[in-house]
Amino acid sequence: MIEILLKTRDKKIIGFESSGHANYAAAGEDIICAAVSALTINSINTLEEVLKLGDKIKYTFDENEITLDINPEILDEARLHDTQVVLRSYELGIISIIKEYEHSKDFEDFISLYYREV
């Protein structure tokens, strides 16, 4: 199962952890894993390359886990807003995947989304 934890503070998303595999299909054919991976990597790339926040974010890429952490206190208001647009878009994308596949048999075994105030 893919588990996604969105880390929040003061109603803002300030990071995430994405780990596991959906096991919806065989490796290389799993569209749920591919969709989550694309959203996750694209969000980090957007923060780093488009918003130029590379020195203000921390992230890790491991075989089974991707993490992102942002310290909102070091961002000015405009950058914090832009960061929220990216991370809320990530959240919306994950929720859209969940809604698309929630009627599949044993969906709870594919993906779960959690929130934690940090």
**Closest by CA position to 92, among listed 24, 26, 35:** 35
**Distance in angstroms (rounded) separating the CA atoms of residues 34 and 92:** 16
Local confidence band at 105 (pLDDT 50, 70, 90 cut-offs): low
Q: pLDDT tens digits, residue range 15-40? A: 999 999 988 888 889 999 999 999 99
What is the pLDDT, as a whole number, of residue 74? 95
Query: What is the per-residue pLDDT for 108?
Result: 62
For the whole model, what pTM was predicted?
A: 0.92
Angle (CA) 5-55-14 rounded to 5° is: 25
What share of the chain has pLDDT > 90, as a percent? 81
- At 79 the pLDDT is 97
Angle between the 77-101 and 31-45 helix axes, to the nearest 10 degrees? Answer: 180
* Domains of the chain and any CATH numbers: 2-117 (3.30.70.1490)
